A and B are shown apart, each in its own frame.
Chain A
């Protein structure tokens, strides 16, 4: 186990929570499709991707827990924190709305997480690199899936195209939080523990823009401002509702066991 000073431990705790929260919140959102997806194959795909995300979250929560000064477990971190303590990007908490919104949210996320996990897997901190390398193999399949659906919906019918265009237009403002490179992340970067997120934006664009174009989707103009704050606990109204549903059981029955 690598030795870190108190300050680094705190930075690592928050950083790893950000990844875990991104994966858990997105995974929970996807799980809401279970039994409701438009076709059976997609119902299964949504449930499987949700399972991957929640499994990845679990690995990162377990690691984060080793840095928690309050001694909380992975489950405590997932189920007993309030929305202001969650550090996920606001994109992951955006509601499913319809299948096109779900796919757009997924595609934007996958296009970031593939290069991100590629970089994280090179971390000098092996305990962090390992779940990154593991997750990378999974998100490659997620990206393949979401990319195919962007093409299918965009270049499908008038209806599917307009719904996807609507989703892309509305979610575009949530696509920059992934690339924030705050001073605290920079400190970890200088220790060779985490990648420079800001450098991944170009890769993200290389993945996203040509696919949207092929899907006959008009790429939105950049808005006057992009959503920000998720990494510091600032969230849209949607997260509170999601947490209420996700956390109700362990909060009502704190000793409940499977």
Chain B
């Protein structure tokens, strides 16, 4: 069987970050590159956060999904270029919002000095509850307008 890069990209859409199941690892920008050299497949991934505990699981799932399709692969981790929330497309951001997570802003300083928009009602009348939420990539906020807590994907 000839293994094509397109086919592998297609299969990788099945792999999701367990902490952010709204997006697949391509939309997340975690899957960076696929190398095929004399039939040997290497998938290059990059962590969202250095200590992201989901990376191990994502690696395992990439191997599983590909092996189910008769492809064995190596998974390599790279830190260059460092993952950034800038890679999330408008479409991915909208998916996050619909999932109930306020998408990341464009600039960390702006985030530090501005209220985060509520993903449920769109209000700016919100406050930061904690810089650290259920996972390292999210902070916790509270919306004064619709009176509910929500998470924000931090800008990094």
Are A130 and B81 CB-contacts (below 8 A) given A41-B129, A45-B131, A58-B50? yes
B154 lies within 8 A of chain A by Cβ: yes
Q: Does A53 contact B (CB under 8 A)?
A: yes
Q: B52 and A144: CB pair below 8 A?
A: no
- Is the CB of A8 closer than 8 A to any CB of chain B? no
Residues of B within 8 A of A48 (CB): 132-133, 135-136
Query: Considering only CB atoms, which chain A residue lies closest to B108 in the complex?
Result: A140
User: Is A137 an interface residue, CB under 8 A from the partner?
Assistant: yes
- A56, B51: Cβ atoms closer than 8 Å: yes
Q: Least Cβ distance of B41 to chain A in Å?
A: 22
A58 to B135, CA, bound (A): 18
User: For residue B50, which residue of chain A has the nearest CB?
Assistant: A55
Interface of B (DSSP majority class): loop
Q: Could you tell me which A residues sit within 8 Å of B by CB distance?
A: 41-42, 44-45, 47-56, 58-59, 126-127, 129-131, 133-135, 137-138, 140-141, 144-145, 148
Query: Can you pick out 25 interface pairs between chain A and chain B where the beta carbons lie within 8 Å of each other?
Result: A41-B130, A41-B132, A44-B132, A45-B132, A48-B132, A48-B133, A48-B135, A52-B50, A52-B51, A52-B136, A55-B51, A56-B51, A130-B81, A130-B82, A134-B47, A134-B79, A135-B50, A137-B82, A137-B84, A137-B156, A141-B131, A144-B112, A144-B131, A145-B132, A148-B131
